[in-house]
Structure formats: structure tokens, C-alpha cells
Copies of this chain bind each other. A is one copy, B any other.
Amino acid sequence: MGLETYWATDPSEVLRVRQGFRLEEVEPRGTPGFAGGRKEAETSLAEGAAIFAEQQEMLFAGNQMGDDPRRILLVLQAMDTAGKGGIVKHVMSAVDPQGVQYAAFKQPTDEELEHDFLWRIRKKLPDGGMIGVFDRSHYEDVLIAKVRELAPADEIESRYDAINEFEAELSASGVTIIKVMLHISMEEQKARLLKRLKRRDKHWKFSPGDIDERMLAPRYREAYQMVFDRTTTPHAPWYVVPADRKWYARLAVQHLLIEALEAMRLDWPVADFDVEEQRQRLMVS
């Protein structure tokens, strides 16, 4: 318990969105709280992975044996190439896949569009004992929907309140919500998109639409600022994680997960059977 030893200062303190937060003041190449470089970060990520895995197993066990309803929801939002997929791959792969529920939200289907924007989100919420990871989320409905005017302005306006109510309800039912925006610079995004175009095994990750979206980056930043202003709550905080250095973003998100799990004060569930009695039954079986 306590801050993992490789942090100089608690990154969540720095990364957490608070009153007066301005996205434009965040340095995408920064590594708040971490004094080392890539090498040290990789070692630290492996060290953190063991802590993360044990905490996750206790969360899972508490639900399996004790019906503990608590769970975690990690919401990942970002511009293309910021590294959402890498977080899933390099952070979440440390824990037992049985305990992770992953959901990616792409362009809504016709059926989804017929319902309230939270309808498809509710269907993918993590069960008790699980860690849910949303690759994009209901925030797309106040991000791309706002930038590309996919819904009337008053409808979008009403969604901030709907989101706050929804998240309050989740929180009350035992969901620890961690909302992360991965923040990369325009230069870094250009470099990453170029790399996707250069490599035949990366073409599938590229779409011409990525450049269209990139050209709208200033409007997206405004939309994100509005999201932070309107949906930062004590029970569902936002964290803006500098993501130009992938190794930093992964280590920081891993820390947010560890911190959330440790705050639950988890322990191994107490057996609901007589251990010695079962041992004797087993010995003669």
C-alpha cells in the first residue's frame, strides 16, 4: 500500500482536473511525478504490474466469494494515435483477462441512434468484481457530436447533466470511475500517423478520416475543455495524462488503477466453509 516506490511525487495529484484547469497549459511531453526516462519507466511498469495484478485478483475474489458489488470503470478518451490501444495492451495485460471487460465505442449503429445516447453505454458496464475499460465512451456524444454538430446544440447541452446524473448513479452502486484523457501534441500525432502510413503492417490502423479529424483539433480541444468544466465531479474525476511519451502515459494510468484499487481497502474474502472439515472430506475422496 502507499505510493509505488518509483514515483517522486504522486502523479494523480498533478494530473487530476481541478477548478480552473486549462487544457492548453498541459505539456504533452511532460512526465509529472516521474524522474526517470523510458528504461526506468519500463522497469517500473513491470513492478507496478505485480501490485496491480494482486489488487485486481482481490477485487475479483471478493465478488466471486463475497458478492462484493464493487468494480472499476476506466474511461479512455483521446485524439487518434494518442495510445488508448497501447494502454489496453500494456497496462491491462498485467491482470487476469477473466477480470476485465473491454468495450470500444465506435460510430453508433442505426439501432443505437434510436435510443438515448447512454443506452449502448449501460449495456457495456462492468459487472461486480470486474475492471471495465471503455475505449471511447459516452463522452463522444459531447465531443465529436459537438464538433461535427451531429445533434442540436440544446440536446448536446442537456447531455452534460445527463452524464453527471448517470455517473452519480454508477458511483452510488459501487463503481469507481476513472476518466482519462490522453493528451498528445500535434507534432507527435503527425509523426505517429506517418509511421502508420509507412508500415504495411500498420495501414489497417489508418483511415483518411483521421486527417479530417486532425484538422479539427482546435475545436476538439475546446470541446474537451467544456467536458472538463462540466463533468468533473468528486465521484467521477478527470485526469489529463500527457501522452507524447507512451511509457509515461502507461505508467500513469497503471498508477490511477492501483490507487483506485488500494482505496477500496481490499482483502482476501473469508472462507464461507469450514476449512478443516473440507480438508478431511478431501483427504478421503
Contact B98 A135 (CB under 8 A): yes
Contact B97 A193 (CB under 8 A): no
Interface size on A, residues (CB 8 A): 44
Interface residue? A85 (CB, 8 A)? yes
Contact B85 A89 (CB under 8 A): no
- What residue in chain B is nearest A104 (Cβ atoms)? B98
- What residue in chain B is nearest A186 (Cβ atoms)? B285
A190-B282, A268-B203, A279-B197 given as contacts; is B93 within 8 A of A98 (CB)? no
Chain A interface mostly? helix
Interface residues of A in 123-156 (CB under 8 A from B): 135
Contact A197 B282 (CB under 8 A): yes
Question: In the docked arrangement, what's the CA distance between A61 and B85, Å?
Answer: 13
A102 contact from B97, B104, B203, Cβ within 8 A? B97
Contact B204 A269 (CB under 8 A): yes
- Contact stretch, chosen from A35-43, A164-172, A206-214: A206-214
Question: In the docked arrangement, what's the CA distance between A125 and B141, Å?
Answer: 28
Interface residues of A in 177-235 (CB under 8 A from B): 190, 193-194, 197, 200-201, 203-208, 211, 214-215
Binary contact track A82-111/B, C-beta < 8 Å → 1, others 0:
000100110011001110101010000000
Most chain B beta-carbon contacts within 10 A, residue among A269, A278, A281: A278
Contacts of A200 in B (CB 8 A): 268
Contact B197 A65 (CB under 8 A): no
A-B contact pairs, 26 of them (CB 8 A): A57-B201, A64-B204, A65-B203, A85-B96, A85-B98, A88-B96, A88-B97, A88-B98, A89-B97, A89-B98, A92-B97, A93-B93, A97-B100, A98-B135, A194-B279, A197-B278, A200-B268, A203-B271, A203-B275, A204-B268, A206-B271, A208-B278, A208-B281, A211-B282, A214-B282, A215-B285
Q: Which residues of A contact B (CB under 8 A)?
A: 57, 61-62, 64-65, 85, 88-89, 92-93, 96-98, 100, 102, 104, 135, 190, 193-194, 197, 200-201, 203-208, 211, 214-215, 268-271, 273, 275, 278-279, 281-283, 285
- Sort A-B residue pairs by CB-CB distance and give the 3 closest, nearest first: A61-B204, A65-B204, A203-B271
19 new A-B contacts, CB < 8 A, other than A197-B275, A214-B282, are A61-B201, A61-B205, A65-B203, A85-B98, A89-B98, A92-B97, A93-B93, A93-B96, A97-B102, A98-B104, A190-B282, A190-B283, A194-B279, A203-B270, A203-B275, A204-B269, A207-B273, A211-B278, A214-B285
